[in-house]
Structure 1
Amino acid sequence: MPGLLRGVARTAIIAGTASAVNGRVQRRQAEKFAGRDAQIYADRQAAYDQQTGYQQQAAPAAQPAQPVQAAPPSDPIERLKSLAELKDKGVLTEEEFAAQKARILAE
């Protein structure tokens, strides 16, 4: 019996040591890969931020600033004249002009 007990004890010690070493190796690898993954994420985020930053800077430059227009005159005749000027300049299409003219005349 003492030989059997000694064998069981030796197996238990070896198994316990193996489990402890395995757990330590897994923790170390997890920390290593977590650091690597965090670095990859940071690099990708920086590249994304840089790319979107360029797009945000380019977008306002691509679109010219619209001048602030004054409130339309309250007189319907003046409003129709200013509407006709916009149509003559090409700002309004014929359909838009007709729709706005109908709206002014309906008021």
Structure 2
Amino acid sequence: MMRRGGRPGLMGTMARTAVIASTATAVSGNVSRRQQAQAQSAAGQQAAQQQAQYAPPPQAAAAEDDSLSAQIERLATLKTAGVISDAEFSAAKAKLLGI
């Protein structure tokens, strides 16, 4: 069966339509995920600001438990949570110990 030149057949048109539809779906999903992440980030920042308004001053919390072991435990918690790196943990611990 010969095809006319220059125009795709039925199968070619269906394939092209399928590719366009899947690309549109992928782009739509990416846009949706990006917007959702931005909304969550904004909500997280707003919650952090509200929490900062009602949180006790950091000096008051530090004054309650200033022992060396408690400070090192807080650093270890930050390292475990991924807030600080191993190098930052080691440097802070050395500073506390006076090394």
Give the TM-score normalised by the residue count of structure 1: 0.46
Larger Rg: 1
Give the TM-score normalised by the residue count of structure 2: 0.49
